[in-house]
Amino acid sequence: MVNASKPARVHLVTGGFPAGSSAGHDIEFVRLELLSLLGAKEALKTTVSNNFDDIETWLPASDLLVTYVAGPFLTEPQSEGVLGWLEGGGRWLALHGTSGGKAIPLPDGKPGRMMSRERHHEVLGTFFLNHPPIRKFTVDVRDSDHPLTRGLPKSFEVMDELYLIELGDPEQSQVLLTTSDLDADDPAPREFGFTYKEDTSVGEDGRTRVLAYERARGQGAVAYIAMGHCHTPTTNIQPYVDASVDPEGVTPLQFRGPWAVDAYRRLIANGIDWGVSENRTGS
């Protein structure tokens, strides 16, 4: 619970797997961007880690957990600790690859990998299936009055990895952002990225997919935002991109994606405000 008489505390986790790896993302850029956004807020104290190994050291004294990871995920004991912290009033602003985790071989022995469902995803409230090649798409704001979306236009365009995410409990999740810019039949080429049995990311209309949501957890809450890819020439692992990004499918050597879009940066800044607000029931 935020105490108005003392600075709010934030714990920031930014990193890839294995430890020290970029895991296909410009982790250093994102870490500095998030620290800059956090530093712009008055009376915040921030601790930083590269993974969740020491989370039990920092989380009890924290009001907000912010994560941008590509590979690291909570173990089962850590998941239970985070859940208890959330139910006691903590808030978790989870970005992009936080919905991923461990990739495992296919059970039938065929080439390829699939994502492993973990307790981490149950606590977070969502599970990453895959994403198509980087493309341009429209983001639709579903709730303009929510603290995370205040000041955003009704819709905006980004170039990004369009994550296919499965909500763990849609009835308990307040959807904030969606897109309808992917075909339902084959949203991600099966030779691209990870394998999944069924596209459980798509809504009943066959087109709408969730990009951000808030889910209450006791006195606290989780807010997840699926967007956020970026890379450099040395961290890029994208084999090709959609024609909406480059007509020849050539991957940009340096890619900032949504981080170059004002609406996305406003969204992240809003998320920090949401996380350290004294009014913990205002959303």
Would you say residue 228 lies in a domain?
yes
What is the distance between the alpha carbons of residues 67 and 124, in angstroms, rounded to a whole number? Answer: 11
| Cα-based distances in Å from 219 to 84, 87, 145 | 10, 5, 21
pLDDT in tens, 55-78: 999 999 999 999 999 999 999 999
Q: Which of 159, 280, 274 is nearest to 224 (CA)?
A: 274
Residue 106, in any domain of the structure? yes
Contact 100, 224 (CB under 8 A): no
| 171: in domain | yes
CATH number for the domain spanning 92: value is 3.40.50.880
Please check whether residue 281 lies inside any domain of the structure.
no
SS3 content of the chain, % helix, strand, coil (to 5): 25, 30, 50
pTM above 0.75?
Answer: yes
Q: Would residue 3 count as lying in a domain?
A: no
Answer yes or no: is 1 within a domain: no
Which residues neighbour 18 within 8 Å (Cβ) at sequence distance 6 or greater?
Answer: 71
Bond prior to 18 in cis (omega within 30° of 0): yes
Residue 126 lies in a domain: yes
Interval 160-192: pLDDT, tens: 999 999 999 999 999 999 999 987 665 766 678
Domain count for the chain, please give it.
Answer: 1
Domain limits at 204? 8-276
The DSSP call for residue 17 is: S
Would you say 201 and 168 are in contact if contact means Cβ atoms under 8 Å apart?
no
Residue 282: inside a domain: no
Burial class (CB in 10 A: 0-12, 13-18, 19+), 105: exposed
